[in-house]
Amino acid sequence: MDTRSSSNAALVLFSGGQDSATCLAWALSRYERVETIGFDYGQRHDVELTARQKVRAAMLDAFPDWADRLGEDRLVDLSGYGALAESALTADMEIVMTEAGLPSTFVPGRNLVFLTVAAALAYRRGVDVLVGGMCQTDYSGYPDCREDTIQTQAKALGLGLDRPTMVETPLMHLDKAQTWALAHELGRETLVNLIVEHSHTCYRGERGQRHDWGYGCDDCPACELRKTGWITWREGATGE
């Protein structure tokens, strides 16, 4: 069955993390032209911004069949927004659960802002499809990761731009073990190893500690999700 979209271009919201790296590979396997956009919103750890370029370069090197499909990358300065939406990701704050029942890493409205800015670029580039790594299965409870939030935003963008805007979220209903499995399906061990080595997920920006599942502090919520998913997937893949 042909899974290629009727639209031939997609813009991937690309942070350089495990999820967005998997989404980039997913998009490259389906669309003739793929561009990426990233956001500098005042993250405490700019290692995430470095990871973006390393993942892109490694993917081009490892998958030459995708090289002709991967186009421009844009990094957008949203530091003013990040300062307003202060969180443990943008300020020197402890990672704790807040009274609102959300971790202090929650950046209010982040995905809504990202999608709006990405849609503006997509409009100018003639791209109708946005691809994001949002997930409501294994996540930290952020309300702007939920499917109804994302698809409602897609409808609003379509109305505001007077042009249909599709937001593809291939990881929305996958847990982290299934996300690792999807990466393996798309690019076998080559892609999995690339994601392990070059992508960045850790909220604390730790790149000094190398684990089987990648670099990280092995303590923050993001590392916990990534590690648990890795172990579950590996145990299932090997039948242990």
Tokens 């202060």 belong to which residue? 86
For residue 168, give the DSSP letter.
E
SS3 at position 170: coil
Determine the Cα–Cα distance for residues 46 and 205; give it in Å rounded to an integer: 8
Determine the Cα–Cα distance for residues 144 and 164; give it in Å rounded to an integer: 21
Determine the Cα–Cα distance for residues 121 and 200; give it in Å rounded to an integer: 25
For residue 61, give the DSSP letter.
H
pTM for the full predicted model: 0.87
Tokens 């593809």 belong to which residue? 168
For the chain, 240 residues long, give each residue's pLDDT as a single digit of tens: 333 334 699 999 999 999 999 999 999 999 999 999 999 877 666 788 899 999 999 999 999 999 999 999 999 988 776 556 555 444 454 554 555 554 545 566 788 889 999 999 999 999 999 999 998 886 656 788 889 999 999 999 999 999 999 999 999 999 999 999 999 999 999 999 999 999 999 988 899 999 999 999 998 888 999 999 999 999 987 554
Q: What is the pLDDT of residue 12?
A: 98
Q: What is the pLDDT of residue 92?
A: 52
- Residues paired with 129 in a beta bridge: 10, 166
